[in-house]
Structure 1
Amino acid sequence: MTSTTLAAIPTIKTTRLKLRPFSLADAPEVQRMAGSIKVAQMTATIPHPYPDGAAESWISTHLGQFTDGDAVTWALEELSSGNLIGCISYGVSKTHKRAEMGYWIGEEYWGKGYCTEAAISGIDFCFQHFSLNKITSRHLAHNPASGKVMLKAGMQQEGYLRQDMIRYGQVSDMVIFGLLRSDWERS
């Protein structure tokens, strides 16, 4: 893994991916991929339909959030093609020394292990560069593939919240995962 200075959102290279800052030029592809009903239904927050201008507005928040130590958000780029394939982010709670990981992958890139690869690198970066005790993540129970990403990234299931969210008119359970710094250091 390589990274640059923390003055700007760093770029990290993995075996098959580049985790890099988003640019406004990515907005149309973000809107297309994240706006897919199949992607949106697997997340807790992505709207469908995806509104015009929302991607640009979202991208414009990333540098300030990183500079303030509140979050790091990366575009996931496939090294072999240079294509944007998704996103991974870590929202930081300084008070609780915790970050929450969230991600989405364009449906044409599902099932290739890209999200796990990004999650492992992102977790490593966050524990190395933020004063964190824990990284958490959660997924809708009807998306078990997301839980597999969390397990492969070293996280443990910590909870199951019944009927925790209403998404597109459907009541959904939420599964909670976590990884302590002490467990990450031992791995």
Structure 2
Amino acid sequence: MTLEEKLLLNNYLETERLILRPVTVKDAEDVYEYGSDPETVKYVFNIYKSLEEAQGRILDYFVKDPLGKFGIELKSSHKLIGTIDFRLDTPDLKAEIGYAIGRNYWGNGYVPEAATRLLQLGFEELGLKRINALHCSENLKSGRVMQKIGMQKEGVLHNNSQLKGRTVDDVIYAITDEQWQKNNL
């Protein structure tokens, strides 16, 4: 079985408080709620101006190519509060994590909880050797999430990406399978 097939078979994951699952058009209202908040999406994408725009993005990004793309749903309320991606690089046995979560849910440990479950999937079930994440150098809260899940800062990628019409630096964090095993004995 390929790594992609294993990932597709693991498109529904649970943690203590969360369900990680595919995003569907039924989630449009929740996606629009956090995607229309300028503070929530400041470092990720342009705000959604309408529910229809959120629906279109769901269809184009999540439904057309669902591999490794998860909605973050609260078990307690079944509300979708954000998304987390697991971008698999099969030839090099690695992946990259990216996430966005509604501002109303910041500071509750939801993203570290979801990201830790994806690290577990990557290292323990897929046999990956490395998982990394990038954040805009201005987005210190995102870097804090990466630290909380055991990733180590590897450096700054200067002028690495375009963010809403300007060039920004990205900070790269990573964790290897050996580090994961050491941290989870």
- Taking a change above 3 Å as real, the CA distance of residues 84 and 127 of structure 1, as seen in their structure-2 partners, is same
Aligned-pair distance for 1:165?
2.5
* Corresponding residue of 1:28: 29
Distance 1:89 1:62, change over 3 A: same
* Residue 100 (structure 1) aligned with residue 96 (structure 2): yes
Confirm whether residue 15 of structure 1 aligns to residue 4 of structure 2.
no
SS at structure 1 position matched to 2:84:
strand
Q: What is the distance in 2 between the residues matched to 1:7 and 1:145?
A: 30
1:120-170, CA deviations, whole angstroms, 9 ceiling, x for partnerless residues?
111101212223110010000111110111011010000112232332234
The aligned counterpart of 1:37 is 38
- What is the DSSP-based 3-state SS (H/G/I as helix, E as strand, rest coil) of the residue aligned with 2:146? helix
Q: Is 1:100–1:137's contact at 8 Å kept on the other side of the alignment?
A: yes
Q: Which moved more, 1:149-158 or 1:51-60?
A: 51-60
In structure 2, stretches of 5+ residues that fail to align are 1-5
Deviation string, structure 1 residues 93-135 (Cα, Å, up to 9, x no partner) = 1111110100000111111111111111111012122231100
Identify the residue that residue 69 of structure 1 maps to in structure 2.
none
Partner of 2:136: 140
**Stretches (4+) displaced over 4 A:** none
Q: Matches of 1:16 and 1:121 in 2, distance apart?
A: 11
Contact 1:90 1:101 in 2 (8 A): yes
Structure 2 residue corresponding to 1:83, chosen from 79, 99, 111: 79
Question: Contact between 2:28 and 2:58, CA under 8 Å: does it hold in 1?
Answer: yes
Say which SS state the counterpart of residue 39 (structure 1) adopts.
Answer: coil
CA RMSD of aligned residues (A): 2.0
- 1:35-59 Cα shifts (integer Å, max 9, x gaps): 422222222xx23346351222222
Alignment match, 2:3: none
Structure ranking higher in helix proportion: 2
- Structure 1's unaligned 5+ residue stretches are 66-71
Q: 1:54 to 1:10 in 2, by over 3 A?
A: closer
Secondary structure at 2:40's aligned position in 1? helix
